[in-house]
Amino acid sequence: MKRLVPIVIASIVGFVLILAKFIPPIQSWEENVVLWFDILAVFAFVLGGGNLILNHLKKISDRQAGWGFSVITLVAFLGTLTVGLLKIGVPPNEKYLDYVWSGDYQAEGSAFWWVFSYVYVPLASTMFATLAFYISSAAFRAFRANNIEASLLLMTALLVLVAQTSSGPMLTDFIPDDSSYAIFKVENIKGMLVNLFNTLGTRAIMIGIALGVVSTSLKVLLGVDQSYLGGD
């Protein structure tokens, strides 16, 4: 029963929405389902927040290794939630000055905006920026011409890297744009690699993926694959 009900719901909603795609008067049902998902997602925030609090409270009470970090996590979480919900420091909307809560919670100068600009932005940028460092270590370790395929990959990578610089294209500037050898200019080789070979490969992978999506979705809708519900 625990598995049957979700499968029946998934099947009915799934197949009705597929049909709706072809029947104009009920095409808008899809929009409603999108809105339902948003409503579900709101409950998910509560679920996620609750789990986060429980998990870290448990770590703190068990004095698990690194419980100090859990304290920081909880303080940051509850602090941000509070200043956002209570709209601390938010000026009211210019059109509704009498209503103190009419302003946008992210309005410039508010506490939430401050957290966003001076805590979140630098932290997120820093984490993303670490990617550049990992790329250099991966390039050193993984880009090695062990065999023919790897050598081709290496050559392609080097060419694209050179072409993506400002000075790279200058290497072949001696070839006139209108000569029949123009295809050997660095930027043109890169253009061919990116627009022709890359696009070809990506399209093939995308077609495969699309079919995989169809098949996986069908298995879910037909209840053939129930492993996501905790069983076979």
Partner 1 sequence: MRIFITLAIIILSGGTLLAQQPTPPTNLKVADFVNDAGDRLQLTWNLSEDDPALDGSDAEDASTEDVPAELDNPIIQYRIDRQTSGDSEFEEVGTVDAGIDEYVAKELEQQKYTFRVIAIAADGSVSVPSETASGTPIVQWIDKSKIAFGIFMLIVCGSVVYFIEMAKAGRTLNVRKIAGLEAIEEAVGRATEMGRDCLFVPGIQDINDIQTVAGITVLSRVAELTAEYDAGLDVPTTRSLVMTTARETVEGAYTAAGRPDLYNPDNIYYLTDEQFGFVAAVTGKMVREKPAACFYMGAFYAESLIFAETANTVGAIQIAGTAMPSQLPFFVAACDYVLIGEEFFAASAYLSGEPQQLGSLKGQDVGKFIAAIFLIVGAVLMTVGEFISPGSEGEGSGMFREVILFIKDGLLGN
Partner 2 sequence: MNTIWHKLADLDRRWLFALTFLAIGIPLLTGVVLPQKVSPMVVNVFDAIDTLPEGSSILMPLDFDPSAEGELQPMANAFVRHCAEKKHKIYFMTIWPQGVGMIQRQIALLKKEYPDYQYGKDYVNLGYRPGYEGVIKLITSDLPKLYDSDQQGTPVSQIPMMQGIDNIQQLPLIVNVSSGDPGLKQWVQYAATPYDSIEIVGGTTGVQASTLYPYIPNQMIGMLAGIKPAAEYEKVMFEKYPEIEERPESNLAHIFMTSQEVAHFMLIAIIILGNLVMWKTSGQGGRS
**Site residues (CB under 8 A) for partner 1?**
18, 21-28, 37, 40-41, 44-45, 47-48, 51-52, 55, 58, 65-66, 123-124, 127-128, 130-131, 134-135, 137-138, 141-143, 202, 205-209, 211-220, 222, 224-225, 227-232
Span between the terminal Cα atoms of the chain, in Å: 14
* Binding status of residue 21 toward partner 2 by CB under 8 A: no
CB 77 within 8 Å of CB 52: yes
Kindly indicate which of the ranges 2-10, 57-65, 70-78, 98-106 contains the residues binding partner 2, using the contact rule CB under 8 A.
Answer: 98-106
**In whole angstroms, what is the distance from residue 206 CA to residue 166 CA?**
32
* Chosen from partner 1, partner 2, none, partner binding at 228 (C-beta under 5 to 8 Å by type): partner 1
What is the DSSP annotation of 77-115?
HHHHHHHHHTTTTPPPPTT-TT-TT-S-TT-TTSHHHHH
Q: Which does 117 bind (CB under 5 to 8 A by kind): partner 1, partner 2, none?
A: partner 2
Q: Is 185 exposed, middle or buried (0-12, 13-18, 19+ CB in 10 A)?
A: buried
Name the minimum Å distance from CB 56 to partner 1: 10
In the complex with partner 2, the residue whose CB is nearer, 51 or 165, is 165
Closest to 202 (Cα-Cα) out of 192, 211, 194, 213: 194
Nearest residue (CB) to partner 2, 27 versus 215: 27
Calculate the CA 22 to chain-centre distance.
30
If the CB atoms of residues 24 and 231 are measured against partner 2, the closer one turns out to be 24
CB of 125 within 8 A of CB of 159?
Answer: no
CA separation for the pair 69, 52 (Å, rounded): 13
Residues lying near partner 2 in the complex (CB under 8 A) are found at 30-31, 34-35, 37-38, 41, 93-96, 102-104, 106-108, 113, 116-117, 120-122, 124-125, 127-129, 132-133, 135-137, 139-146, 150, 154, 157-158, 161-162, 164-167, 169, 187, 191, 194-195, 198-199, 202-203, 206
